[in-house]
Amino acid sequence: MRGAGGCWKRLRLRGRRRSSAAFLLAWAACWLGLSASLLALLRRGAFPGRCTDESGRSILARLCLDYSSGVLTGDLCEDLCVAQKLVYKHCLYYDRGKKVIQADWRGQPIILKSKQEIFSSYQHLSMLEEVETQDITETELLLMAALEVKNVLGLELSNNTMGPLWTRRKGPHWKAQVASMWSLLQQEEYIFFSLLQDFSKHVLRIIGSCGHFYAVEYLTAGHAWHKTLFPLEDMAGPSLTGHRSRVRAIIDIALSFLDMVQHFDNDFSHRLHLCDIKPENFAIRHDLTVVAIDVDMAFFEPKMRDILEQNCTGDDDCNFFDCFSKCNLKIRKCGAQRANNNLQVICDKIFRRWFSPSLGGPLVSFPLQPQLQKAVQECAEPGRVDAAAHQRPLKSLSKLYHLLRVSQRELLRAE
């Protein structure tokens, strides 16, 4: 912002000497110059999160060059690089190496994702150079994959549960297949989505991959500025434009959020913690199922404990985004146990917007509105970490389930 500061300084000097008309002209000239500079920066994608079509197309062109050279492979490479059945549409996100690109695959919108732009940026598997690739057994590869999962997610997995992560079989391009799969295994989101494909309807469905890029289903993310947080009209068309239909849809989505909370808490070998809960990290399928679409800040219990157990001088040092712990001042160490929970944060950051009054009143009017407001308020309040701590979210979950289902029935009776 030095340009703006210099502009303002010159304007102040000129403003003392010249008429107000001349001052306004100089002010306009300065801001026109600054606007032109900002526009140039935006076009070059200089700000975090921005991605130009030029850079997006260049990334995929580089990917196809590596494919044609035999460096990498994948089940979508042929459609992307040869048959032209996977077509670039837009570059959605480009920041700190992470790339997110919208594409069209055989008439179906998809998202291509990678943690790094260039294939060579990923750690190379040295074993590929030390021995003949065909001599590496699938058992050895599965063991390496299991070790990588333990390193990334903190989970101990047996070889027979690694199937979704290692789907390739030996063939003429085995070295490229191994190198490509190894680049994917260095991406936490890919591992997360792959492992949960057959176990959870609340995560993105993986469609395929090419080198270090993997494709997932396309869903429209929520946004805090959206009146209902999620674009209901994109899910079921005009049928959700009426007030009663919107109310019914929000209740269904809220129930799906509760299903997801219960599922992530109880249905895996370890509890899954969501440490960045906001509308932008979720999407809604056409059947109104909630889907976690960004899990960079999702951690299973073993990894969560490692993250929380840090040195501290107060409770503020024990906050990791939406996951909080408490500081033990005697040993100056954060507790490994999370003090809040997924449901509490969802109540605070999602449900409050729907069910609690604001300065402008509730977003929409619901059956049992006062009871829902009170239940959401109680759910969102932080509690003490004690022997009864695990009972509070269960009571809140049960109460919210009950109120939302009664609201559903009342809406049906009113039709």
Average pLDDT of span 330-355: 96
Cα distance between residue 177 and residue 128, in whole Å: 11
Segment 207-217, tens digit of pLDDT: 999 999 999 99
Segment 102-133, tens digit of pLDDT: 999 999 999 999 999 999 999 987 766 655 55
- In 3D space, the residue among 43, 41, 49, 44 whose CA is nearest the CA of residue 95 turns out to be 49
Going by their DSSP bridges, the two strands 319-320 and 323-324 should be labelled as antiparallel
Average pLDDT of span 255-269: 96
Average pLDDT of span 288-309: 96
Segment 143-183, tens digit of pLDDT: 888 888 888 888 877 656 665 666 555 667 888 998 999 99
Query: Is 257 or 153 the better-scoring residue by pLDDT?
Result: 257
- Indicate whether 399 pLDDT > 90: yes
Give the pLDDT confidence score for residue 323 in this predicted structure.
97
Query: Is 261 or 141 the better-scoring residue by pLDDT?
Result: 261
CA atoms within 13 A on the CB side of 227: 11
Cα distance between residue 399 and residue 407, in whole Å: 12
Quick check: helix, strand or coil at residue 209?
strand
Domains, the chain: 49-218 (no CATH), 243-414 (1.10.510)
**Average pLDDT, whole number, for the chain?**
83
Query: Is 136 or 72 the better-scoring residue by pLDDT?
Result: 72
- Indicate whether 268 pLDDT > 60: yes
Give the pLDDT confidence score for residue 171 in this predicted structure.
65
